[in-house]
């Protein structure tokens, strides 16, 4: 990329003082600053904005007082009491909540992506009557805010619970099947991925005698495995945040998910339970953040494929 008119430096952000010092010495400082340096300044300011709430959570979780008034960005004292309290089960069966959450999020995300993948394969590779209408009405139905039909879902689930007790209200399987109502939520995204794989590939396979199922499992799935894994992760974090239906369906303490349980804790006493809530949050956030870092490349790729392919 050739060098040309420098971008005006007036777009410097207010946090200009934190400019990094590791300038390459090939060009004069003023010019480096006007072409590249300011980008670092903007990036550092943006990083500060992105990270300060996370810092706050970590610092609040280590603050032994655990109140809103005593928590700041940097920990003033170091103590693991909130973590111990949670893990010991003093504030409700935290480990049970964690397990419930792993089960619910894992099952829902996996099934959701798998069923979406099946449907996306049909939409991407077959031409059939009702296909266009199907795709468009899917977009419309997924826009319906599910919580508005909550009363109906509640009535239905309590009826189902009478027939099959383990699927009723206040049971994890019941909660899971309700969330699976969104099973086709990822169809558009995954269809975008499928569309990027050349059709010639499966046509060749079919000529070689593959069935449509073999094309799906032996050619398309392996090609898209990384990006599908990322979709699972994104779906999983989506389910992690579901707390409204959960707070209605899962009322027994040992059936709650983390979102429901921690929300209840914080609601109990907003200003004094902050430390415990923060400690719980850290234990949820850390694994997710680490996974995101590992899958970063695919997350960027996945989001973009969705963008470019619509």
Alpha helices in 70-130 (DSSP H): 81-88, 94-125
Q: Considering the complex, what minimum distance in angstroms separates the CB of residue 224 from other proteins?
A: 15
Contact flag: residue 78 with other proteins (CB under 8 A): no
Q: Contact 203/215 with Cβ under 8 angstroms?
A: no
Q: How far apart are CA 52 and CA 207, in angstroms?
A: 57
Q: For other proteins, which is the closer residue by CB, 225 or 294?
A: 294
Contact flag: residue 264 with other proteins (CB under 8 A): no
> Where in 106-135 is the site for other proteins (CB under 8 A)?
115-116, 118-119, 121-123, 125-129, 131-132, 134-135
Contact flag: residue 74 with other proteins (CB under 8 A): no
Tokens 């209408």 correspond to 133
Q: For other proteins, which is the closer residue by CB, 28 or 203?
A: 203
Q: For other proteins, which is the closer residue by CB, 87 or 138?
A: 138
Tokens 């919580």 correspond to 147
Q: Considering the complex, what minimum distance in angstroms separates the CB of residue 237 from other proteins?
A: 6
**Can you read off the two tokens belonging to residue 161?**
């619970």
CA dihedral 146, 150, 156, 160 (to 10 degrees): 90
**Residue in 79, 81, 170, 272 binding other proteins, rule: CB under 8 A:** 170
Helix axes 81-88, 94-125, angle to 10 degrees: 80
Q: Considering the complex, what minimum distance in angstroms separates the CB of residue 86 from other proteins?
A: 14
Neighbours of 98 (CB within 10 A): 18
Of 214, 224, 148, nearest to 186 (Cα)? Answer: 224
Q: For other proteins, which is the closer residue by CB, 51 or 95?
A: 51
Contact flag: residue 303 with other proteins (CB under 8 A): yes
> Where in 265-284 is the site for other proteins (CB under 8 A)?
266, 270-271, 274, 277-278, 281, 284
Number of chain residues interacting with other proteins (CB under 8 A) = 122
Q: How far is CA 307 from CA 131, 173, 196, 303, in A?
A: 21, 34, 12, 6
**Residue in 28, 31, 43, 217 binding other proteins, rule: CB under 8 A:** 43
């Amino acid at each position: 990329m050739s060098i040309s008119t420098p971008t005006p430096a007036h777009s410097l952000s207010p946090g200009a003082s934190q400019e990094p010092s590791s300038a390459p010495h090939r060009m004069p400082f003023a010019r480096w600053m006007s072409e590249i340096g300011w980008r670092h300044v903007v990036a550092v300011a943006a990083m500060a904005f992105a990270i300060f709430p996370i810092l706050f959570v970590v610092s609040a979780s280590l603050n032994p007082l655990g109140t809103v008034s005593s928590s700041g960005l940097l920990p003033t004292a170091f103590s693991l009491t909130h973590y111990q309290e949670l893990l010991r089960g003093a504030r409700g069966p935290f480990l049970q909540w964690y397990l419930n959450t792993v089960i619910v999020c894992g099952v829902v995300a996996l099934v959701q992506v798998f069923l979406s993948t099946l449907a996306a394969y049909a939409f991407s590779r077959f031409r059939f009557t009702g296909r266009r209408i199907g795709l468009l009405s899917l977009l419309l139905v997924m826009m319906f805010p599910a919580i508005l039909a909550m009363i109906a879902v509640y009535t239905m689930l309590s009826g189902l619970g009478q027939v099959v007790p383990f699927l009723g209200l206040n049971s994890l399987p019941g909660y899971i099947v309700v969330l699976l109502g969104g099973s086709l939520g990822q169809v558009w995204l995954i269809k975008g991925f499928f569309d990027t794989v050349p059709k010639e590939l499966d046509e060749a396979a079919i000529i070689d005698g593959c069935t449509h199922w073999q094309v799906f499992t032996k050619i398309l799935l392996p090609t898209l495995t990384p990006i599908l894994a990322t979709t699972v992760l994104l779906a999983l974090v989506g389910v992690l945040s579901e707390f409204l239906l959960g707070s209605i369906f899962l009322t027994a303490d040992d059936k709650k998910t983390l979102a429901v349980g921690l929300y209840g804790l914080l609601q109990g006493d907003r200003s004094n339970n902050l430390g415990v809530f923060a400690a719980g949050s850290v234990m949820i956030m850390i694994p997710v953040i680490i996974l995101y870092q590992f899958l970063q490349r695919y997350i960027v790729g996945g989001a973009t494929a969705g963008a470019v392919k619509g």
